[in-house]
Amino acid sequence: MNDPAGRSGTVGIRNVRLPDGRAVDVSVGDGVFRRFEPASRNNGDASSLDGAGRLMLPGLVEAHTHLDKTLWGLPWRPNSAGPRLIDYIENERRVRREIAVPVGTRAAGLLEQMISLGSVYVRSHVDVDPEIGLTSVEALLDLRETVRGRCHLDLVAFPQFGMLTNPGTAELVEESLRLGVDTMGGIDPAGIDRDANRHLEFVFGAAVRHGRRIDIHLHDGGDLGVWQIGMIADLTEAHGLTGRVMISHAYCLGTLEPGRLDPLARRLADLGISILTSAPAEGHIPPAATLMAAGVNLCCGSDGVRDSWSPFGTGDMLERAMLLAYRFDWGKDAQLQAALDAASVSGARAIGIENFGLEPGAPADFVLIEAETVGDAIMRRPLDRLVFHRGRRAAGAN
Amino acid sequence: MNDPAGRSGTVGIRNVRLPDGRAVDVSVGDGVFRRFEPASRNNGDASSLDGAGRLMLPGLVEAHTHLDKTLWGLPWRPNSAGPRLIDYIENERRVRREIAVPVGTRAAGLLEQMISLGSVYVRSHVDVDPEIGLTSVEALLDLRETVRGRCHLDLVAFPQFGMLTNPGTAELVEESLRLGVDTMGGIDPAGIDRDANRHLEFVFGAAVRHGRRIDIHLHDGGDLGVWQIGMIADLTEAHGLTGRVMISHAYCLGTLEPGRLDPLARRLADLGISILTSAPAEGHIPPAATLMAAGVNLCCGSDGVRDSWSPFGTGDMLERAMLLAYRFDWGKDAQLQAALDAASVSGARAIGIENFGLEPGAPADFVLIEAETVGDAIMRRPLDRLVFHRGRRAAGAN
């Protein structure tokens, strides 16, 4: 079978089915979808790729992971953390010191797994703190270059152990942006960093100084979390960062009654603030359907995959879409499509990829999979996938 | 590679790893595990099967499914049910009338999928009601014979649409037991059948008359459900049916404060009443860890797989173990082992298979899988599995 990958000019993929059921031939030029036409039922241009009736899904988007923390590919390590958050934090530091395999090797192994399963855009947080300095940042910046052309890797400078409370971290975070890290991170401005105002002012200030997007981990629950979402919205508006901010986890949104949720959801939608969930089954999580209905850009990610925090995860964004649907008992086709959107187009929008999807003019990012419908793909999740990034083959063989 | 399946006498499987990490050679005779000995590191008897270092798991047990309802293998059918329970019930009847593929064909397709993934004991409820009569029962009884030797199929006579409120159903249920259905079923004695006492008296009476085990669907929530669990316990005790009763779903157990849960859990443990969960992520479910700690036999099942109620499910009990762990955020090795137990030994105990597991004297039911540990198997769930039932190969090639 020919591969449109290595070619310039316009190439084609014939005989694929779209999520709406249409059988089409697709032409791609310069990494962008050109035309979707009814399948011609002949063999077409011999240089085109035969989709063999496979389902074409938009490229999958891993909108939140921690490649630097993963133990993927290493011998199984029982989770040895004590019960409290502080125990998990101390355990992570202990594990990090004990592991001999370099961060770049571990991260590359997991990223290859993700690409092979269809994720061609991956946002990964990367720890920055005085103990490890910029070691992980440098390894991940190298990896970003290594996979360029097969996967768009968006890196977030992440102060896991606090920014202001961990002296030297803020300077290192800003230095990582100078080195080329894509996105400015933050974490529990109140609960972990103990000074929500100063933390957020630094996060937004650094983002503005370096022209970066923002992605803030917010585990703080209930009213404490909601209060900080309001501050993030205020700062987004004040700094003119509409469409450039994401709040990850935001468990507190799952605790609000409609009278408080609805106006907040409208404000998030107006400011283009994306909400990220890994769809955990225990505890409160953002009410996905309500947020989506209000126009909020809700996307999902694996969070950590097999690391010192949790042994869960495979890096498969179709599995994550299943877990999102499972979490809310979404069984209708429109709901399953929404789950796929959260694992693809919404994630792309969150990290700044506009005009994403199976449309003329969009980047030619797609997955060919032997499944009948979107629901079938999410439920069965066949592992044999042909993965394309901007018109070039990123993974999979025929 | 040789296969111990077709042989009588003692045969061996060499070089496998057990969940506790030991590398062993295993001998099997007359369908029963004989010895587990340290791996000899030579090629052993040429007639033995080379496990090639694979992980040996106990045979998986699907303790609750509805083979007769599945649409597995059919074209994808969008879920078209309205929002209420009654809408789903009416939708199921409509779908059932519209589907041309016979129940035996659909059930066999899903059962093969389950066996290929390692389930060698499967309990399936089978609808019995005046509209379809014993059609499904007869088809599933045939299937039970077809798979005998590869999978133990335990059938439950299931009055989906009510027993006393649906005239003629009780008689058909009892007739199905006469025909050889294994287990007496029931459903929401109060909420659906509107007369908890008469429903339960009939269920227990029929079970006693025919010498059968009991498995009752209980969706009724809160105090209504708990009240019925108390009645089921009373009847179990009164009829001397210790160890022979299962309550499926039992969502109400997830609503009880410890002061009420603990004594009820002790009573369930004392009476050997098993609790079945499919580990749904939405709503209340039985608190698995608390119940297990109290000695309750907690097992799990897929429930419906791709049917008119829900598009979810693959029939993979390792996936179900993952979902159970996911539901409760179980990340420790002991918790992952507990999740596996719920998908294997506990399910076996619930359907009456004593002395199950990887022990001398137990039936030689096992799965060989390329995984490192139980946690790794649950998280990655490789699809390539060698499946054995009572010493004979049920599925998988080397």
3-state secondary structure string across chain A? CCCCCCCCCEEEEEEEECCCCCEEEEEEECCEEEEEEECCCCCCCCCCEECCCCEEEECEEEEEECHHHCCCCCCCCCCCCCCCHHHHHHHHHHHHHHCCCCHHHHHHHHHHHHHHCCEEEEEEEEECECCCECHHHHHHHHHHHHHCCCCEEEEEEECCCCCCCCCCHHHHHHHHHHHCCCEEEEECCCCCCCCHHHHHHHHHHHHHHHCCEEEEEECCCHHHHHHHHHHHHHHHHHCCCCCCEEEEECHHHHHCCHHHHHHHHHHHHHCCCEEEECCCCCCCCCCHHHHHHCCCCEEECCECCCCCCCCCCCCCHHHHHHHHHHHHCCCCHHHHHHHHHHCCHHHHHHCCCCCCCCCCCCECCEEEECCCCHHHHHHHCCCCEEEEECCEEEECCC
pLDDT above 70 covers a percentage of chain B that reads 96
The pTM (predicted TM-score) of the whole model is 0.96
A314 Cβ under 8 Å from any chain B Cβ = yes
Assess whether pLDDT exceeds 80 at residue A3. no
CB A331 to CB B310 under 8 A?
Answer: yes
Is B299 an 8 Å CB contact of chain A? no
Preferred mutation among A88, A333, A370 to probe B, highest tally of B CBs within 10 A: A333
**Interchain CB distance below 8 Å, B376 and A78:** no
Task: Give contacts of A322 with chain B, Cβ < 8 Å.
Answer: 312
Given A76, A312, A326, which is nearest B281 (Cβ)? A326
* Residue A390 C-alpha, separation from nearest chain B C-alpha, in angstroms: 29
* CA distance, residue A375 to nearest chain B CA (Å): 8
**In this predicted structure, what is the pLDDT of residue B354?**
87
Half-sphere exposure of A264 (CA within 13 A, CB side): 26
Contacts of B313 in chain A (CB under 8 A): 379
* Tokens coding A68: 């630097």
Give the pLDDT confidence score for residue A388 in this predicted structure. 97
User: Which pLDDT belongs to residue A7?
Assistant: 45
Query: A314 to chain B, minimum CA–CA distance in Å?
Result: 6
Residue A86's pLDDT is what?
A: 86
* Residues from chain A contacting residue B376 (CB–CB below 8 Å): 76
**What is the pLDDT, as a whole number, of residue B365?**
98
DSSP strand pairing (B23-29 vs B10-17) = antiparallel
What is the separation of C-alpha A46 from the centre of its chain, rounded to a whole number of angstroms?
A: 36
Confidence of residue B10 (pLDDT cuts 50, 70, 90): low
Yes or no, beta carbons of B79 and A328 under 8 Å apart: no
Instruction: Tell which of A76, A278, A305 to mutate to test the B interface (max B CBs under 10 Å).
Output: A76
Question: In terms of DSSP bridges, do strands B366-369 and B55-58 run parallel, antiparallel, or are they unpaired?
Answer: antiparallel
Instruction: Write the pLDDT tens digit of every residue in B311-366.
Output: 999 999 999 999 999 999 999 999 999 999 999 999 999 999 989 999 999 999 99
Would an 8 Å CB–CB cutoff place A83 in contact with chain B?
A: no
Q: Which of B213, B130, B133 is nearest to B165 (CA)?
A: B130
Q: Assess whether pLDDT exceeds 80 at residue B249.
A: yes
The distance of A290 to chain B (nearest Cα, Å) reads 16
Does position B21 have pLDDT exceeding 50, yes or no?
yes
pLDDT digits (tens, 9 = 90+) for B41-74: 666 666 789 999 999 999 999 999 999 999 999 9
Q: CB–CB of A329 and B280 under 8 A?
A: yes
Split at pLDDT 50, 70, 90, the class of B112 is very high
For chain B, give the percent of residues with pLDDT over 90. 92
pLDDT exceeds cutoff 90 at A2: no
8 Å CB contact of A79 and B333? yes
Q: Does B372 touch chain A (CB under 8 A)?
A: yes
- CA closest to A308 among chain B residues: B331
Cβ contacts (< 8 Å) between A311 and chain B: which residues? 331, 336, 375, 379
Q: Are the beta carbons of B372 and A310 separated by less than 8 Å? A: no
* Arithmetic mean of pLDDT, A157-162: 96
Mean pLDDT of B275-292: 97
Region A262-284 average pLDDT: 97
Mean pLDDT of chain B: 95
Residue B5 has pLDDT above 50, yes or no: no
* Chain B residue nearest residue A83, CA to CA: B332
**What are the strands of the beta sheet with B119-127, ordered from one edge?**
B60-65, B119-127, B152-158, B183-187, B213-218, B245-249, B274-277, B298-300
Residue of B nearest to A77 (CA): B333
- Quote the pLDDT of residue A208: 98
Condensed to tens digits (0 to 9), the pLDDT of residues B172-223 reads 999 999 999 999 999 999 999 999 999 999 999 999 999 999 999 999 999 9
Confidence tier at A10 by pLDDT (50, 70, 90): low
Residue B150 has pLDDT above 60, yes or no: yes
Q: Can you give the pLDDT at residue B43? A: 61
Neighboring chain A residues of B310 at a CB cutoff of 8 Å = 331
**B257 Cβ under 8 Å from any chain A Cβ:** no
Antiparallel, parallel or unpaired: β A274-277 and A245-249: parallel
Confidence of residue B86 (pLDDT cuts 50, 70, 90): confident
Residue B3 pLDDT greater than 90, yes or no = no
State the pLDDT confidence band at B6, using cuts at 50, 70 and 90. very low
Q: What is the pLDDT of residues A59-111, one digit of tens each?
A: 999 999 999 999 999 999 999 899 888 899 899 999 999 999 999 999 999 99
B310/A contact by beta carbon, under 8 A: yes
Which domains, ranges and CATH numbers included, belong to chain B? 10-58+357-395 (2.30.40.10), 60-350 (3.20.20.140)
A-B C-beta contacts closer than 8 Å: 76
B-chain residues within 8 Å CB-CB of A314?
379-380
Nearest CA in chain B to A328: B282
Nearest CA in chain A to B332: A79
pLDDT tens digits, residue range A110-127? 999 999 999 999 999 999
Comparison of pLDDT for B211 and B89, the residue scoring more: B211
B331:A312 CB<8 A: yes
Q: Is the pLDDT of residue A6 over 80?
A: no
Q: Does A384 contact chain B (CB < 8 Å)?
A: no
Looking at the DSSP assignment, which residues form a beta bridge with residue A26?
Answer: A13, A36
Sequence-distant (6+) residues with CB within 8 A of B334 are: none
A308 versus A45: the higher-pLDDT residue is: A308
- Shortest CA gap A333–chain B (Å): 6
Of B282, B313, B326, which is closest to A328 when you measure between CB atoms?
Answer: B282
Which residues in chain B are contacts of A331 at CB distance < 8 A?
79, 309-312
Interchain contact, B281 vs A75, CB within 8 Å: no
A313 in reach of chain B (CB within 8 A): yes
- Compute the nearest-CA separation of A306 from chain B (Å): 9
ipTM: 0.95
pLDDT, tens digit (0-9, with 9 covering 90-100), for A316-372 = 999 999 999 999 999 999 999 999 999 999 999 999 998 999 999 999 999 999 999
Is residue A282's pLDDT more than 70? yes
Mean pLDDT is lowest, of A116-130, A139-153, B58-72, B87-101, for B87-101
